[in-house]
Amino acid sequence: MNARDRYEAMAAQLDAEVFPALPDAPEGLLALSAVEPWPEPVPLPAALPPVAPFDFELLPQELRAWVADIAERMQCPPDFSAVAVVTTVSSLIGARAVVAPKARDDWRVVSNLWGLVVGRPGVMKSPALGEVLKPLSRLEAGERDKWKAVHEEWAADCEVLVLVADKKRSEAKKLAAKDPTAAREMLRPAEMPPEPVARRYLVNDATVEKLGELLTVNPWGLLVYRDELHGLLCSMDRQGQEGARGFYLSAYDGNQGHAVDRIGRGEVYIPRVCLSMLGGIQPGKVQSYVREAMAGGAGDDGLLQRFGLAVWPDVSREFNYVDRWPDTDAKRAALAVLDRLDRLQPSSDDEPVEWRFSPEAQALYESWVVPFETEIRGDELHPALVSHLSKYRKLVPALALIFALVDTPDSGNVIHEVELLRALAWVDYLRSHAERLYSVAVMPETAGAHALLAKIRAGKLTDGFTPRDVAVKGWAGLASVDAVRKAAGLLVDFDWLERMEVKSSDERGRGRPSECYRINPQALSKKA
């Protein structure tokens, strides 16, 4: 044994006598806690940034009581039904009315909006949305009944024309030899009346091709509702779905044409693709989608950012048992608004009604838009959040138009300052929810630290774990060594973990030492 080997053997013996190794710990990880006690861990910063609570003043007077009634009876955040109401109203207006945000510009904004409610299972997302959508289902059922009666008349007319054609064919056969010209004229086909179509309001699950067909006969817009939007978003991430993504991306503007070409079907051209969208999603799924999109995935094209009416409210732990009949007066007032907007007429068969700001509202808009544009052109905000906020260019004037059509439909197509102030209050409220939505991209270490600590407390990690031990498990937000290292680093900073270097397993001690993490025993008993 040479001198170096004798020295290393003596050092190892000294380590074993003075610093006994932890049970089941990686070789070389020393129990320093015997010498220095663990510090008191410091609470982690919140995994989710705070959000503004919903203020019923954000809604027009005729809609407030209905939203409040739904929220109280279902004991859910009012944000859910409020977003559903505004999205529903936007779908009824569709492209029938537009707003010109600038006084001397040809830029026009369609009011179709996209709403997204985020909440874990069991917080009454779907029932709240479904309650708001009942009036649309009622309108669609009425249209279907009208269509059925008209379609039966159309079918009878077609049958009569067929019988007349058969009679003329028989007469033409007798006349052909004597007067071929007259016989040919008798065989000229009669013009068939166009088949009546039912107006649609709501679509739940349809391919892009079917949506295209529906929009050709419902040119002013439709509402797409998905109880769980994650499935739709992920379906469009698959290879070969680029056309579907492009269709939905253009549908957000509400005034773009779109051609769908299919073998055997030819071309279907839609002069105006106008869709409103509404749905719910679970927190874990939306965080995963945001994380993947911001890492350069298929979702990094602004589709998610088009959900300007995205809310992720806090859910109260308190529950009040409410068993009473719905507020009939509140519902009747809201239905009167929806019925009136359902009868809204465009300027012509091809042109919408144009609305403009009053001079006071125009000045207010300009005073808002300049600092807004300056901020999103800076470097202070995360690119994901900038992409979302940039859609407020449409959201603000669209909301102002919606509120004007609800509150002052007879104003001579003028949007007043009060409607624009309400729209600006909405974007202040919505911005806090957007910051929560994109927090996994803006501050991923915080979310990762909370996730890692939760796994430790669940007993899924033991003392001396390595970043690779965690990454191979594929947990959300912790699927890469780098992500685990950042999350663990934050836990080290707050004294929940301690970082250790592990000696190389090489018998000669060559190579870089690896890292592992010891767990503060208090992590298993204290709250983060």
Domain ranges of the chain: 22-43+443-524, 56-143+199-316+340-441
H or E segment to which residue 392 belongs: helix 392-407
For the segment 447-491, what is each residue's pLDDT rounded down to a tens digit? 888 889 999 998 899 899 999 999 999 888 788 898 899 899 989
Q: What is the CATH number of domain 56-143+199-316+340-441?
A: 3.40.50
pLDDT-derived band at 3 (thresholds 50, 70, 90) equals: very low
For the segment 216-231, what is each residue's pLDDT rounded down to a tens digit? 889 999 999 998 898 8
What pTM value is reported for the model? 0.79
Give pLDDT, residue 306.
Answer: 94
Dist CA 200 CA 186 (whole Å): 40
H or E segment to which residue 266 belongs: strand 266-273
Give the CA distances from residue 435 to residues 50, 211, 248, in Å, rounded to whole numbers and listed in that order.
9, 32, 24
Asked if the model's pLDDT at residue 288 lies above 70, the reply is yes
Asked if the model's pLDDT at residue 504 lies above 90, the reply is no
For the segment 292-337, what is each residue's pLDDT rounded down to a tens digit? 777 655 556 788 899 999 999 999 989 999 999 999 999 999 999 9
pLDDT-derived band at 191 (thresholds 50, 70, 90) equals: confident
What tokens does 439 get? 């927090």
Amino acid at 175: L
One CATH from 1.10.10, 2.10.260, 1.10.150, 1.20.1070 for 22-43+443-524: 1.10.10
pLDDT (mean) for 190-201:
83
Asked if the model's pLDDT at residue 413 lies above 90, the reply is yes
pLDDT-derived band at 17 (thresholds 50, 70, 90) equals: very low
Averaged confidence pLDDT in the chain: 86
Give the 3-state secondary structure of 167-194: HHHHHHHHHCCCCHHHHHHHCCCCCCCC
User: Which of the residue ranges 136-140, 145-149, 248-252, 402-406 would you say has the lowest mean pLDDT?
Assistant: 145-149
Sheet holding 97-100, edge to edge: 109-110, 97-100, 353-357, 414-415
Give pLDDT, residue 30.
Answer: 44
